[in-house]
Structure formats: structure tokens, C-alpha cells
Amino acid sequence: MNLIDEKVKTNLWRYLFQCFLATVTISAVLLFLNVLTETAIIAALGASAFIVFTMPLTYSSDFRRLIGGYIVGITIGVFFSLLSNLNIIILNFSNSLYQFVIYGSLAVGFSIFIMTLTNTEHAPAAGISLGLVINSWDYSTIIFIVIAIIWMAGIRKILKSSLMNLSSPNITK
């Protein structure tokens, strides 16, 4: 078992470059989103940056999955966030923790369901739906999420021929 991936020896600059792209992307996210109140949203974008910049040739980083998954995750997250703020009688809880648990769970479950139906599976986008329920946000947050995802998808598309999967495909237990 090697501690360091064998491909690093011949592709060190690609490793550094692709990790640099992820760093720049997350730096922008951290500069524009509130680190204290939008942590789940930031974490989901960080996970997407990992997928896009370390596994750019995989199914999950494909344009359809990345953009489509986030459209689904954002739409469902906004819906359940707004629903939780309505305090409808059926699911009205005196303890806001229960509200986050119920509506957050529903947002993730529905996001996964719709993503699998539409072939837009992108795991971090399910996290965005949860983040929108449990974190405070406004419409500028949504716009920024969309811009960040379009940025990642655009960089991946423009540089696709220069990018490689940094993860090792033949991992055995």
C-alpha cells in the first residue's frame, strides 16, 4: 500500500493546479457567504469543489449532474425552508429543533428522489437543500450559489482537456 498516489510523480503540476482551482473557488465562497450562519451551504459547495477539481472526469462532476443537481437542491431547499417558516398547524413545533429536523430531512429526501428521477445526481446538492432549511439565507445567497456552481462547471468545461482525475481508480480493500 502506497501512502502517496503513484500518479503524483509524473503529474505533480496537475495536482497543484487543480487543488489551486479548488482553493480559489472556495476562497471566493468564503469571502461572499457568511461563514458563521451559512456553514452547511459553504460545506456543500466545498464538497462540490472537491468533486469537480479532483474528479473532473467522473459522472458526479458532469455538467448535467452539477448544474441539474443544484437546481433541484436549491428549488427543494427553498420550498421546504419557506414551508418551515409558514408554521403550518400540521407541522407546527414549539421547539424549532424539531422543525429543522423534519423539514431538513424532507428536503434531503425529496432532493435525492428528484435527482435520481432526473439523472441529476450530485450528492453535495442534497446538502444544499438541507443547508437552505437549517441556515439563514436570502436571495443573494441563492444567486451566489448558482454563480459558484456555474463557475465550477465553466472552469471544468474550459480546462477539461487539461484536467485529470486525481483519485486512484483501483482502490482495493
pLDDT per position in the chain (173 positions), as tens? 678 888 888 999 999 999 999 999 999 999 988 887 888 999 999 999 999 999 999 999 999 999 999 999 999 999 999 998 876 655 555 666 788 888 999 999 999 999 999 999 999 999 999 999 999 899 999 999 999 999 999 999 999 999 999 986 654 44
State the Rg of the chain over Cα: 18
The residue extents of the domains of the chain are 10-162
Give Cβ neighbours of residue 26 (< 8 Å, ≥ 6 apart): 45, 46, 49
Residue 68: helix, strand or coil by DSSP? helix
User: Looking up cell 443544484, which residue turns up?
Assistant: 70
